[in-house]
Structures are given as C-alpha cells and as structure tokens.
Amino acid sequence: MKTGLVKQSNYVPISSVVGGMNSAIGGMNMAHQGGRNVAAGSGMSLAGDMGQRAEYLLVIYPHGELEERLLHEQRQLASEFGLPAGGRNRPHITVAAFQAGELMEDTLIRWIQRICNRHRSFDITLNNYSGFPPHTIYLRVQDHQPFFELMHQLRAIDEFIRSCGCPPVNLVSNPYLSIAGGLTERVYNRAMPEYSRKDFHESFLVDRLVLLKRGHSFDACKTVNIFRLLPETI
C-alpha cells in the first residue's frame, strides 16, 4: 500500500464552500425568525433555537488486522502497567471535535457528506510512538498533508456552528492515534521510555469518516453517520 499524499487533489476553495454555507445559514435562520434573538441583518440565531447540545467527534477508524494489532497494543500496555482492563477506546484518529444543538445535526451531516464527496481516499502511515506528558502515549501519523486539505474544507462548518451560538470547531492540526490516555504521571514516566524505543510502522487506507455523538464527556459515544470518501482512482 502506498503511503502519504492524496493522489489527486480535490481541494475546494474555502470561499466557495463558505459561500454555499452562508446560503444554508441564511435559509435556516429565516425559518427561525419567529424565535427570539435573531441578530439583525446577519441571519445568526442563538443556540436556544437549536435544541439541547451534544458533543460530536469526527474520527477515522483503522480496520481489519491493523485494528486487532492496535487493540493488542492497548491491552498489552494496560496489563504491563496495571491499568484497568475495561474501558479501552476503539483505536481511532480524531479529525474534528465540536458541540452542536441536536436540531443542527441533519444540516451538519449534509454538509460533512458534501465535503467528503469531494475528497479522495488517502493512505495513513502510523510511525512509532510519542507522548503528551504526563498523560497520553500515542502513535504518530507520519504525513499530515491529507489532513490539512480535509480540515481546510471542514472549516466551512465552523461558521454555521458559531452562528448558532456554539463554541468553535476544534480541527486537529496534529493528528495521532492514542494507545493510552488519562495516565497518571507515575505510569506515564514508567511507560514512555519503553515505548519510545519500540518500533511500529503500519499503513492503512482511509475511505470513510465516522461521526460520533455523546451527551457529555462521560457518556459512551454512538455512531451518528458514516461518510464515504471518493475512491483513490476512478
């Protein structure tokens, strides 16, 4: 499997995507003009119109044998350093995280799918371990370029989310795959020297993004939608 760059760029100028989003925002806010607190002339309504907020994560899941190997890495670290056996997250790479009202969900799904319809599948290479002191050990993503192009396009949804009174979208500029998070400083300082010497080098094809949702940080995530990317070649 080839690694790294997207074979053919499907870059869409941000101005064109945002321009379309502005139309969608305007239309949505016209539908809510009967509500309160519509900003005069801007078409921006407050979050109260959009229902109860939830937390959303847009993620990439490795699959097949690689997913099994990553789960084994998680279990091995937990066993070696006395961590709880349960509660391990399915291995994933976070692309974006945001809060939104549940009534915004259908619009967000449509716009994320539209962006994914313009973006080709790409390869990711996981290359050795690093850490965020003092709490997380992760696998590095070798090539960030495909993420930069994808995240540039995903910025278009940020305007819609902020216009509804929600915090800005967090687009992950340094993608990584966590092997263990929430470690104590003591465990991190014991484990990190060992993992910094270990070798890990695997690649996989990203052909879809998955949108997850939870009520708050302590809830389990549930899948909201799966977004297919274009094939590498047509």
Statement: residue 218 has pLDDT above 90: no
pLDDT given for residue 87 in this prediction: 56
Q: Token digits for 10? A: 């499907």
Whether 3 shows a pLDDT value over 50: the answer reads no
Task: Write down the pLDDT at residue 101.
Answer: 96
CATH topology for 53-228 is Cyclic Phosphodiesterase; Chain: A, (3.90.1140)
pLDDT at 151: 86
Name which residue leads in pLDDT, 184 or 29.
184
Q: pLDDT digit string (tens) for 53-109?
A: 999 999 999 999 999 999 999 999 999 999 886 656 799 999 999 999 999 999 999
Is 60 exceeded by the pLDDT of residue 26?
no
The 10s digit of each residue's pLDDT in 134-192 is: 999 999 999 999 888 888 889 889 989 999 999 999 999 899 999 999 999 999 999 99
Domain boundaries, the chain: 53-228
Q: How far is CA 68 from CA 61, 74, 76, 129, in A?
A: 12, 10, 12, 17
**Mean pLDDT of the residues in the chain:** 81
Could you tell me which of 71, 185, 172, 202 has the C-alpha nearest to residue 131?
185
Which pLDDT band, with edges at 50, 70 and 90, does 221 fall under? very high
Which candidate, 96, 98, 95, 97, places its Cα nearest to that of 122?
Answer: 95
Interacting residues of 113 by C-beta distance below 8 A, sequence separation 6+: 225, 227
Sort strands 136-141 and 176-180 into parallel, antiparallel or unpaired.
Answer: antiparallel
Cis omega (within 30 of 0) for bond into 167:
no
